[in-house]
Each structure stands twice: as structure tokens, then as C-alpha cells.
Structure 1
Amino acid sequence: MTDPNTAIAPLDLISRLDQMQGKFASREQKVADFVSAHLEEISGMTIAQLARACEVSTPTVVRFCRTLGCDGFRDFKIRLAQNLAVSLQYLAPEPGQAPETDGAVDQILGALYATLNVMRGQLNGQQIDAAIAALSGAGQIVVAGLGGGSTMVAQEAANRFFRLGLPSVAVSDSYLLQMRAATLGKGDVLLLISASGAANELTSAAEIAGGYGATVLAITRPKSPLSDRASIAIEAELPEDPDIHKPTASRYAHLVLVDAIAMGLAQARAETTNENLRRIRASLTAYHGRTGPQPLGD
């Protein structure tokens, strides 16, 4: 087993290998040098093949693996393969030029337009109408998203809904989400936002809330675990840009859906909505004194 005094948990073997360069015993260093230069080939090699390629013994290879924090060569190969699966695009990204400011804006807008066009072609208007109907009569609405983009969209959704007179709260803590889901019942809505639809915390909350009779509404990927557990699923398979430096555009697409739902809700509840928005604007004018056109709540 790994000696805890000489190795750390190998969460990122590639970084660990880089940090240890020059610190291995001399023969282990030969293995380190070969591995660093042939990262993608190691998964197809046996321990004997690696030892021959490095001109060392198989026990030296095992010691090298344990120095990195692995239990042995097999554990090392599995962990290295896992690292490479997510790291290669960052270790050798596609070459590109750093754009001028206007060029960067154009690139982001181009990705946004492309993503929105893809989404528009996939949307089912009946599902959006069903979402509006469920939210319009909701006793309470809990909106949840985990991770940077989905969390931001969930917060914006709750922000939109409360202005329309609908009691809503955004949740991004996984434990709090399970508790909130357990308080929902018939007439309540749990709105879950996830680009992947695979987060266990969200599918668990969907099962809890659905089990108590609440409507589970999801904005997510089609045929995902979350989509399967939702009462109403607004689905879109959104492409991710291969440029690793470009922020994901899917969060903008989800914001468009939230705005479309909010507008539909406002129109469906026009009398209540208008009075609510009037009160909000009046309270803000009394607070800061500005009466000119401006975003509501700014």
C-alpha cells in the first residue's frame, strides 16, 4: 500500500509528475522522463514493456508508481487514463491567436448566436406552455442549480418570479436542496436547471419533491437522468465550443428560457403582475428618487 509519509493522494497525476521532476531516485527518474514524454502510450503498455523502454527493472516501475501516491502499476495506469481523459485538451489546446477586444466580443457573440439557434430548433412550445401553467398557480417555487452557470441562472429565475408575485427562492447548496425538496407538495414547483442533467443532487431532489406530489420542472439535456425524473422537461442538446478559453454559451441559452417563461407568466397573470411591478417601481423611486426609464430593480 502507499506510504502516507512519502506520497500524496494522486488526484492529479500529471501535476504530481511535474512537481516531482528532479526529486525521484535516479532510476525512477528514468521512468518519470519516459512517462512524461509518452503520456498517451502508457495505457497500452504492460509493466514489463514500460520497464524495458526505460531500461529499468519492474520493481523500479512499482516504486515510481508508489512515489506518485499509487498502489501499484495498475492503479497508476487507471488514474493516469482518468487524468488524460479530461486534461489533454488543456495540455495541447488548438493553436489560436489572442484576439483584440472587439474580436473577443465577436467570438462570444458568435458562439451565443450559434447556441441559441441550435436551441431554438429543439424547443417544444407545449412544454414551455406547461411550465408556465404549472408555475402560474404554484404555492411556492424552489429553483436550484449547482455549479457556476446553473447557479447563476437559478438565482435569476427566482429573481424574475418573485417580481411577478410568485413566492420563489433559489438554492445552490446540495443539502439545503434536499431539505427544501422535502417541504414541497401538491401545487408547488421544483425548477431544476442543469446543462448535463446528470448531477445526483438534482435527481435526488426531483425524486423527493415528486414523491410528495410537487411538480418537477427541468431545463436540461434530453434523455438525461434529470429529464427522466421531471414532470415537465424543457430539453435542448446544446453544443460546447471546443475552444477551452471561451466561456460556455449554454448559460445564456438557459437565461433566454427563463426570460421566456417569466414573460409568459407575466402575461398570464397580467393583473397581479402589473400591480406588483408598479409597487416595486414606486418603492424604488421613493428610495433613490430616480423616475426615468431604467431596468426594474436597478
Structure 2
Amino acid sequence: MIKKAPLPNLSPDPGSDILRSISAGLASMSAGQQRIAAMILENPHWAMQANVEDLALRAGVSAPTIVRFARTVGCDGLRDLKLRLAAALAVGAPYLHRSVTPGDSTAEVVRNIVGSITSVLSDWQHQLIPADIEQAAEIMHRARRVDCFGTGATSNFLAMDMQARLFRLGITTNAFSDAHLQLVAAATQTEEDVLFAISYVGRMPTLVEAVAVGKEHGATVIALTQTNTPLAAIADIVLSIDVPHDATMRVGTDAYVVQLLMIEILMVIIGLKRGPTMINSLREIHDILLTRGVDSDDPSLLHWGWNQVLHSGKDEASEF
């Protein structure tokens, strides 16, 4: 009978940073242990608070495997592992990024941050409900008007981006960030309209109030927000963006990226619903921007633009 080599103790002393020790020992771990390690490194705050059953379920292993992993990384058990996680989180670098630990090299920072967002996107994809996305796309496709509301720097940008995309699809659309204009727009909506509210935090009182007004006037409310928020509670359709909270930003990179992806998904589905005519229209828009846009890669267009300006100046001068 072949004896297996003992697993290495990955934590050299009780005072070491457990997150760094886990990260350093990834290469020597089994596939199951690597899944547990990745889960902890991706969201140590959650791992510190979760029970053994939740940890096992998310990592796809058994509960005893979680306990064995804790001992493998030099802890007395799961409770000791959580205490060391708490100590590691208290001393700092997760306030820059939850996947970065003090002393990480540039290569490690790149690997950890890219790996973190990849893991977040995978988890988020599995949470999505295609039927809700389909319903939202169908209603927007048939709407008389779609008003995009976003309050705050990120939400406002996303609302404007969505308005620009819907406009290209031939949908009558607006984007509002001002609280008063949101109320005015909401008050003019009807049962034929859609109010698309964007807010990761989902608690801005003025936005929630404007959404309530739109709903009172019969509009269908679609919310791009977290599941358990006041905005989600009032929406007819919730497109959830439940991702780990950022250490420093109210709307971190994870939230920003998944919101952009949801908008992209919606626009593609709506475009397909609008059929070949819309696709031909988009092709024409692309060709016009390519051949007539002054920011094209074709340098001759830049000269063409300057010639237009110069000729225009000469024509104005000749009038005097």
C-alpha cells in the first residue's frame, strides 16, 4: 500500500498573515483544497463569518474537508482559522483590495486582482435568472419610451451609456441624473413606458421616490441593483448585481463591471428582438462612423475635417 506524503504546514508561525500563507501554498494543494483557498482569498470577510456547511457548499467539498484544510494551513481548527482571518483583515491591505495582502509583488497583485474579478463574474453568472432578463428585454423592446435614471457618479454614467445604446437601437429614450428632472420624467410616464433605475447601493431616497412616482403612473420599473435594497423592493423586475462589497468604494470594480455586462446583455437581446432591419441600421451607423467620423483611424479623414473648417472660414470671410 502506497503511503501519501503528508500535506505541508503552510503557516510557519501563529503570528503570520494567514491570507498570505494560504496564497503562498496554493501550488502544493489538492484541487479541493485550492477551491477552498480561492474561496477564502476571494472573499475573506464572508469566509470569516460563514459556517462550515456554507463554506463546504460554496467550495464544493465536504464539511470535514474544510476542517482538514484549516489544519493544513497551520490552524488548530476552523475556529482558529477564522480568528486568524480576523487578525489578517484587521491589519490592513484588504482596505486596498480584499485579494491583496501586504508585501505582494506587482505580479501577485495583477494575478490576485484579475483572478478575483474572474471568480466574481463566474459566481454572478450562476446567480442570473435568464427569464428575468428576457422579460426585461421584451418590455423595453416594446416600450413607447425608456427613461434611464442614475444617481451618483457611476450610476449616472451607466444611465447615459444605456441611453446611448438604446438610442442606436431606435428606441425613444432619455437619461436623467438630476432629482427634479427624474421626478418630472416619472410624472409623465404611462403604462406604455419603462423606468430603468440603476443603483448598486439601491438606497438613494430621491431615486427611490422618483421610481415610486413612475410606478404610480403605470410605468414598468426595471431595477439594476442588489437584491435586498429599497429599490429592488419597489421594482417590477430586478436584474440583480449581488457581488462582494468593495473595501473602500461604495461602488467598486466588481459592481461596475457586472453592471456594464448586464447592460451589454440587455442591448444584444433587444437588438436581436428588433430583427434584421435593426442590424442593417447598426451596420450603416458603423460604416458612417468609420468613413465620416473625424476620430477614425484613417488619417485622410483628419485632413478632410480640417479642410472643411478652413473652407468654412474662407466662405465666412468672403461675406465681408
User: Considering the TM-score relative to the shorter chain, is it more than 0.5?
Assistant: yes
1:227 maps onto 2:232 in alignment: yes
Aligned residues: 202
Q: 1:134 to 1:110 in 2, by over 3 A?
A: same
The C-alpha deviation readout for 1:217-251, integer Å capped at 9, x for no partner, is 10111132111111111123211244779943101
1:286 to 292, 297, 305: 292
Q: Which structure is richer in relative contact order (CA contacts within 8 A, separation 6 or more)?
A: 1
What secondary structure does 1:203 align onto?
helix
The sequence identity of aligned pairs, in percent, is: 27
1:15 paired residue number: none
Spell out the pairing of 1:72-151 with structure 2 (5 A cutoff). Answer: 93-94=92-93, 96-97=102-103, 99-100=105-106, 103-151=108-156
Distance 1:146 1:115 in 2: 25
Spell out the pairing of 1:1-298 with structure 2 (5 A cutoff). Answer: 93-94=92-93, 96-97=102-103, 99-100=105-106, 103-242=108-247, 247-284=252-289, 285-288=291-294
- 8 Å CA contact 1:189–1:214 kept in 2: the answer is yes
- Which residues of structure 1 form unaligned runs of 5+? 1-90, 293-298
Distance 1:246 1:254 in 2: 10
Q: 1:186 to 1:244 in 2, by over 3 A?
A: closer
1:199 partner letter: M
The C-alpha deviation readout for 1:77-123, integer Å capped at 9, x for no partner, is xxxxxxxxxxxxxx9633624753x5544344223212212211211
- 8 Å CA contact 1:108–1:246 kept in 2: the answer is no
- 8 Å CA contact 1:93–1:244 kept in 2: the answer is no
Q: 1:232 to 1:289 in 2, by over 3 A?
A: closer
Distance 1:238 1:166 in 2: 30
Q: 1:194 to 1:246 in 2, by over 3 A?
A: closer
Distance 1:266 1:244 in 2: 33
Q: 1:245 to 1:123 in 2, by over 3 A?
A: closer
1:188 partner letter: D
- 8 Å CA contact 1:145–1:194 kept in 2: the answer is yes
What secondary structure does 2:180 align onto?
helix
Distance 2:207 2:113 in 1: 29
- 8 Å CA contact 2:200–2:251 kept in 1: the answer is no
What secondary structure does 1:249 align onto?
helix
The alpha-carbon deviation at position 291 of structure 1 amounts to 8.8
The alpha-carbon deviation at position 169 of structure 1 amounts to 1.9
Distance 2:150 2:233 in 1: 17
Distance 2:251 2:109 in 1: 9
Q: 1:170 to 1:104 in 2, by over 3 A?
A: farther
The two structures have a TM-score, normalised by structure 1, of 0.61
- 8 Å CA contact 1:145–1:172 kept in 2: the answer is yes
- 8 Å CA contact 1:219–1:254 kept in 2: the answer is yes
The C-alpha deviation readout for 1:160-210, integer Å capped at 9, x for no partner, is 111111122222222221111112112111101111221112211111111
Q: 1:140 to 1:245 in 2, by over 3 A?
A: closer
- 8 Å CA contact 2:150–2:176 kept in 1: the answer is yes
The C-alpha deviation readout for 1:50-74, integer Å capped at 9, x for no partner, is xxxxxxxxxxxxxxxxxxxxxxxxx
Q: 1:97 to 1:152 in 2, by over 3 A?
A: farther
The two structures have a TM-score, normalised by structure 2, of 0.57
- 8 Å CA contact 1:165–1:272 kept in 2: the answer is no
Distance 1:242 1:271 in 2: 45
1:278 partner letter: R
- Which residues of structure 2 form unaligned runs of 5+? 1-89, 94-100, 299-320
Distance 2:211 2:251 in 1: 31
| RMSD (Å) for aligned C-alpha atoms | 2.8
Q: 1:225 to 1:280 in 2, by over 3 A?
A: same
